[in-house]
Structure 1
């Protein structure tokens, strides 16, 4: 079952249960341990906690202030570099800065008209001072949003940032003292929750247009070897950009600057992999892809040379490497292999955004694995 079908299955299960319970356990899927230093733990909601939290169909009772008058948002571009101790996070056309030691989770998203907080069921790391999430399905353990009255979520003081969450613009004060502000920035919803007003203001003021990757793409780009007869010069820049198909276009879900070495390692590993064979029964629409790209000076040309490996992640995984040389008549596509992913998946943020294809569950821990 591909990731899109899995998401539809979970959506259907949540729709059936909407109104009958406020916490849904659709399976006993255990969050897999990431390799080495990248471990993920359950956060806030577990199946046992769900039994305590589920108390009917009521929603949380909270105070709301200033829904019609959100705080101003600074959207002027900066030099693109985060301040020391901070890092940048992107979604769609929006980039913000968050504390560098924060972990990763998800953000509320709608299932058949009912907003559920399945993704915030866990965040990465053994201990997290805060976390940043996007509306991507990460867990099969879900809680109704807004939080239930007297639930653990209401009292938890851990700060967070939600990019693109299905949350109304305005300010919510939770009983535990956490203040949650949601604003519109660069065409996206930005939610910042903290007991510290200065921290909230600092993060909201950092909002600006995405800088290192296109905010969206109508189609999946082609790969490219980035070579010419004369070779290539020094690297100019390198980026990892992840996208998901939403309403007919691919939306940016993750953006990070990297190094040309990372791009070359990924490209080379995939070039040595087996070529993609004939289409299989599960070869349907590709709903997510990752572009791993480096640009180089062309010593004998005006335009930069581009080396790009495009990871097409549907129910199967294949990688478009372009052509071995610029005049080669055939495109080179190979099967997804671990050594092609690991160079760019070392950032734990990838594991909160990009799903492993059904035939590449050996990447669970590096990418989002199967649930249930």
Structure 2
């Protein structure tokens, strides 16, 4: 198993370095070099070695539409909007949107492990690792955030249309999916659901914001580690290797208490690391009402994994990993 893990991480690093910045949404997409954001993309081979690929966003056949161009004119809210009951917020950098609270996380590999299109829709980000097992159609239901650097839209931002598979050899979405995308000069959010009203509701919720995200996470890891108060009993803020906000989530009541116990009562870990260069892709700041409490490293060198409380390092048990990765 250690050999497999080593080979996997080496492959992910190599492929991420070679991967393109984004995936076009229409044939003949041309490159648009505007504000650049670091985007992780990797590919996973099905059996022994895994490789990651960027989350698929190809739209296949679209009809009508204009020829709009992504730009940087999207309005920015002075603060993140509150989360609506029945929905949850999903954040990437300074971009947030709302999706139904029962949606999961993941990419276009919906058919992995016997999955079906009837399973829960997923939310994917630019750093989502997707197993390249060629599901058909290529994408299930959900919402995907990606770079708009090579995005060539066929419809205006926020417009909703029905996906038609007639005459399409390799369908990218289930027939009659209601699709929409929000975009500006940096990012594109693609929404795919079987219900027109839901697709419209989600794409209308996409917002650029300043300051804290809807769960109270700051834009950088350093700011999170400096917090002396927070809004909820338990908040997790995931940051990229560049210390930029990538995902977040929070809980109250019994849900917060049980997750806190899983993290704070995990067995003690050996804080020594045999890694000369810690090769992680993300770190997770753990906050409570008193502010910053710990930073978790849940990927990278096995000897460096841990939940780093003040003066104490605890193990990333399987239960702790499930809590830490539940925010996407």
The TM-score, its normalising length taken from structure 1, stands at: 0.55
* Contact in 2 for aligned 1:244/1:251 (Cα 8 Å): yes
Cα separation, 2, equivalents of 1:27 and 1:62: 31
The structure with the largest alpha-carbon Rg is: 1
Find the partner of 2:146 among 164, 176, 182.
Answer: 164
The structure whose residues are more often strand, as a share, is 1
2:286 is matched with 292
- Counterpart CA distance in 2 for 1:136 and 1:267 is 24
Are 2:301 and 1:315 aligned?
yes
Partner of 2:160: none
Q: CA deviation at 1:178?
A: 3.2
Q: Is the 8 A contact 1:74 1:205 kept in 2?
A: no
* 2:83–2:214 Cα contact (<8 Å) kept: no
Q: How many residue pairs were aligned?
A: 264
CA distance in 2 between partners of 1:215 and 1:83 (Å): 23
**CA distances 1:198-246 after superposition (whole Å, capped 9, x unpaired):** 322211111233322445326596599x8xxxxxx9985431111222x
CA drift of 1:274 comes to 3.0
CA contact (8 A) 1:102 1:128 kept: no
Match of 1:82 in 2: 84
Secondary structure of the 2:265 match is helix
Gaps of 5+ in 2: 1-5, 21-42, 51-55, 156-162, 166-174
The CA RMSD measured in Å over matched residues stands at 4.5
The DSSP-based 3-state class of the residue aligned with 1:65 is coil
Q: Distance in 1 between matches of 2:113 and 2:142?
A: 11
The within-5 A match list for 1:257-336 is: 257-259=250-252, 261-262=257-258, 264-270=260-266, 272-277=267-272, 279-281=273-275, 283-295=277-289, 305-306=290-291, 308-313=293-298, 314-316=300-302, 317-322=305-310, 331-336=311-316
Residue 212 of structure 1 is matched in structure 2 by 215
1:257–1:11 Cα change, 3 Å: closer
1:337 to 309, 317, 323: 317
1:291 Cα deviation from its structure 2 partner: 1.6
Q: Retained in 2: the 8 A contact 1:239–1:294?
A: yes
